[in-house]
Amino acid sequence: MRPVDRVLLLLVAPPALVLTAMPARSAQYLSTEEAQRALFADANRFEPVPVALSEGDRDAIAEVSGTRTPLPLGRIWRAMRDDQMLGHLIVDEVYGKHEFITYAAAIDASGAVLGIEIMDYRETHGGQVRESSWREQFRGKRRSDALELDADIVNISGATMSCKHVTEGVRRLLALHDVALKGR
Amino acid sequence: MRWPRALETGIACGIVLACVAIGARRARADENYFGYSYGSETLPKGAFEAYSWMTWRTSKGQGSYNALDLRQEIEYGITDRLQASFYLNERYLSIDGAAPFEEEDGVETPEYPDRNEFEFQGVQASLKYNVLSPYKDPLGFAVYVEPGWSRVFKITGEKQNEWSLEFKGIFQKNFLDDQLIAVLNITPELEVRKFIGGGNKWETELALEATGGLIYRIAPKWFAGVEVRYHSEYPDFVHELTREHWATFVGPVIHYGAEKWWATLTVLPQVYGAPQDDSRSTTLHLEEHEKLEVRLKTGINF
């Protein structure tokens, strides 16, 4: 075997072994239905809410948003208990390091966050954003709040990127709620 | 032809890394987006990462020259801002008629002999401290120090006793929702070496290197970009600071990151260097560098 062949073999062999040994794993923690039940336990039905935004609405949302992922306009539901509206549930995506982080936010009729759930998280690190103690910080937050890391949302060391992007995502959803969902 | 035993050891190292991967339980990473440039992030406290580095250097514009630098690294997060690494290095050199000629007593002889060897090369250790976060601060910044020892000279394969001390200033700036990443490393390195059988003379050298890159997430898990490396050396810098040679490399980099492992491939052709030996190239410095470097890094988190 020529030396250059040996070199090529050495370049290829270890990563090939790793690639075959390490199939990618997805981690979906909650389906949409499970997130709906987790965030609106008293609701007995969820109605899709179609939303169409004007350019002005989009600009107003973009002004407060730090995230560039598409707005989740087709993933908004009204949580109902009989004829009473409990709030809105929105399923959104923000950038993780490699994949998207999918999360759901529940917002009441007055525009306050009732809670968030991480539905899909497939990143190498930063999974601590799933911990309830961190998610609990968003309860009661409104559009008027800063929703900034190290200001009114505590960061988790080693999970900074995920904390930052989820925080920016919730800030955007509060703006979306204020612009398009309040009173609907 | 029988493979050198050390070559088999290199393959075994790769198998060991794969086995470590199979046993991986916890998922954390300080992955490298670039082959030659570091980012300013550090591993979280208590996290481990195993790396495999493979750098293929080839072609000196004369004869045949192939070098494979192998490195295995274990990295540990001491705190969320401070990480330590330990490296084992091996080197495979296949040289056939690539050495420059020097005239001695009217006879031209090659400066170093042909060889076909795979040898244990040396060890290094490093500390990296994250000062500013690329996600929270306007500019990410980390400092890095790496002492090392080497017993095989990188270019010729001559046996030596070399001690080195490398420093890095690591800058990182993220754009576009952290999907576009720019890094810049400034690296001075001090080296003292004595060749085995070369008397008691210790040589000193200062190497100054700047590396940088720009990489963008083109699809989930996939990043692509460009990387640049400038390397220069100042022998006997204690007495006179004169740049003996320099070379600049530019090329593409591609990075793939999965949940528990990642891989980065950089292909760096030399684009310009000096001084030149016109019989080899009129634009490249090929005595202490090669026409092409290819680096593949893989990392496993546990």
A95 CA: distance to closest CA in chain B (Å): 8
pLDDT at residue number A8: 62
pLDDT at residue number A98: 84
Asked if the C-beta of A68 comes within 8 angstroms of chain B's C-beta atoms, the answer is yes
Chain A residue numbers with beta carbons less than 8 Å from the beta carbon of B179 are: 68, 95
Give B12's contacts (C-beta < 8 A, 6+ positions apart).
Answer: none
Supply the DSSP symbol for B189.
Answer: E
Chain B residue numbers with beta carbons less than 8 Å from the beta carbon of A122 are: 259
Chain A residue numbers with beta carbons less than 8 Å from the beta carbon of B68 are: 7, 10-11
Q: Identify which has the larger pLDDT, A60 or B115.
A: B115
pLDDT at residue number A159: 87
pLDDT-derived band of residue A13, with 50, 70 and 90 as boundaries?
low
Give A141's contacts (C-beta < 8 A, 6+ positions apart).
Answer: A112, A113, A147, A152, A170, A174
Tokens read off for B262: 């990642």
Tokens read off for A33: 């239905």
CA distances from A130 to A6, A36, A91, A140 (A): 46, 16, 15, 18
Number of helices and strands in chain B (H, E): 1, 14
Collapsed DSSP state (helix, strand, coil) of residue A166: helix
φ/ψ of B196, rounded to 5, equals: -70, 130
CB atoms < 10 A from the CB of A50, how many?
Answer: 8
Tokens read off for A32: 């949409």
CB A86 within 8 A of CB A79: yes
pLDDT at residue number A87: 96
pLDDT at residue number B196: 92
pLDDT at residue number A157: 83
Considering only CB atoms, A124 lies closest to which of B28, B136, B220, namely B28
pLDDT at residue number B260: 80
| A171/A167 Cα distance (integer angstroms) | 6
Residue A29 has pLDDT above 90, yes or no: no
Query: In this complex, do A158 and B177 lie within 8 Å of one another by their Cβ atoms?
Result: no
Question: What DSSP string runs through B6-47?
Answer: HHHHHHHHHHHHHHHHHT--S------SSSS---S--PPTT-
pLDDT at residue number B1: 39
Q: Which residues of B148-180 are buried (b: 16+ CB within 10 A; e: fewer)?
A: bebbbbbbbbbebebebebebbbbbbbeebbee
Give start and end residues of each alpha helix (H) in chain B: 5-22
| B51/B93 Cα distance (integer angstroms) | 22
Per-residue pLDDT of chain B in tens (302 residues, 90 and over written 9): 344 555 555 555 544 444 444 333 333 346 799 999 999 999 988 889 999 999 999 999 999 999 999 999 999 999 989 999 999 999 999 999 999 988 888 888 999 999 999 999 999 999 999 999 999 999 999 999 999 999 999 999 999 999 999 999 999 999 998 999 999 999 999 999 999 988 888 999 999 999 999 999 999 899 999 999 999 999 999 888 999 999 999 999 999 998 788 999 999 999 999 999 999 999 999 999 999 999 999 998 77
| A150/A156 Cα distance (integer angstroms) | 10
Chain B residue numbers with beta carbons less than 8 Å from the beta carbon of A4 are: 66, 94
pLDDT at residue number A15: 58
Cβ neighbourhood burial of B118 (10 Å; 0-12, 13-18, 19+): buried
What's the pTM?
Answer: 0.85
Q: What is the distance in angstroms between the CA of the first residue and the CA of the last residue of chain B?
A: 38
pLDDT-derived band of residue A67, with 50, 70 and 90 as boundaries?
confident
B56 CA: distance to closest CA in chain A (Å): 8
| B46/B43 Cα distance (integer angstroms) | 8
Chain A residue at shortest CA distance from B117: A3
Average pLDDT over residues A109-138: 89
Q: What is the ipTM of this complex?
A: 0.78
Instruction: Give the CB-side neighbour count of residue B6, counting CA atoms within 13 A.
Output: 15
Average pLDDT over residues A82-111: 93
Q: Which amino acid is at B201?
A: K
Collapsed DSSP state (helix, strand, coil) of residue B110: strand
